[in-house]
Structure 1
Amino acid sequence: MNLTDRIVVVTGGAGGIGSALARRFAAEGAAAVVVADLEADAAHAVADGIGPVAHPATVDVTDEDQVRSLVADTERRYGRIDLFCANAGVTTGGGIEVDDAAWDRAWRVNVLAHVYAARAVLPGMLARGGGHLLHTCSAAGVLTAVGDAAYTATKHAAVGFAEWLSITYRDRGIRVSALCPQGVDTPMLADGLAAGHLGARVIAASGAILTADQVAEAAVAGLAEERFLILPHPEVAAYARRRAEDPDGWQAGLRKLVRRLTT
Structure 2
Amino acid sequence: MELKGRNAVVTGAAGGIGAAIAAALHERGARVLLADLAEEVADTAATLGQPHWTGDVSSAEGVTGLLAAAEGELGQVDLYFANAGITGATGLGGEDDWDRVIDVNLRAHIRAAERLVPEWTRRGEGYFIATASAAGLLTQIGQAGYSVTKHAALAFAEWLSVTYGDEGLRVSVLAPMGVNTKILWGEDPKAITGDALTGQRAVAEAGNVLEPADVATTVMAAIEAETFLILPHPEVLDMYRMKGSDYDRWLRGMRRYQAKLQGH
Give the TM-score band, short-chain normalised.
over 0.9
1:16 corresponding residue in structure 2: 16
Cα separation, 2, equivalents of 1:202 and 1:131: 36
Counting only pairs closer than 5 Å after superposition, residues 81-100 of structure 1 correspond to structure 2 as 81-96=77-92, 98-100=93-95
CA RMSD, aligned part only?
Answer: 1.3
What is the aligned length?
258
Residues 153-212 of structure 1 show CA distances to partners (whole Å, capped at 9, x for unaligned) of 111111110000011111110001111111111011111854131111111222421111
Preserved CA contact (<8 Å) 2:207 2:233:
no
**TM-score, with length taken from structure 1:** 0.94
Residue identity opposite 1:186 in structure 2: T
Cα separation, 2, equivalents of 1:106 and 1:69: 21
Q: Give the C-alpha shift of residue 93 in structure 1.
A: 4.7
Cα separation, 2, equivalents of 1:47 and 1:155: 27
SS in 1 for 2:186: helix
1:104 corresponding residue in structure 2: 99
Counting only pairs closer than 5 Å after superposition, residues 108-257 of structure 1 correspond to structure 2 as 108-191=103-186, 193-194=189-190, 195-196=192-193, 197=196, 198-257=198-257
Q: Give the C-alpha shift of residue 124 in structure 1.
A: 2.4
SS in 1 for 2:13: coil
Residues 203-238 of structure 1 show CA distances to partners (whole Å, capped at 9, x for unaligned) of 122242111111111111111111111111101111
Residues 22-64 of structure 1 show CA distances to partners (whole Å, capped at 9, x for unaligned) of 111101111x10000111x21101001112xx11101211111
Residue identity opposite 2:44 in structure 1: V
2:45 corresponding residue in structure 1: 47
SS in 1 for 2:205: helix
SS in 2 for 1:184: coil
Matched, 1:60 2:56: yes
Q: Where does structure 2 lack aligned partners over 5 or more consecutive residues?
A: none
Question: Where do 4+ consecutive residues of structure 1 move more than 4 Å?
Answer: none
Q: Give the C-alpha shift of residue 79 in structure 1.
A: 2.2
Cα separation, 1, equivalents of 2:261 and 2:206: 12
1:35 corresponding residue in structure 2: 34
SS in 2 for 1:258: helix
Cα separation, 2, equivalents of 1:23 and 1:168: 31
Give identity over the alignment, percent.
Answer: 43
Residue identity opposite 1:151 in structure 2: Y
Preserved CA contact (<8 Å) 2:177 2:207:
no
Preserved CA contact (<8 Å) 2:57 2:66:
no
**TM-score, with length taken from structure 2:** 0.94
2:6 corresponding residue in structure 1: 6
Residue identity opposite 2:84 in structure 1: A
Cα separation, 2, equivalents of 1:79 and 1:207: 40
Q: Give the C-alpha shift of residue 73 in structure 1.
A: 2.5
SS in 1 for 2:121: helix
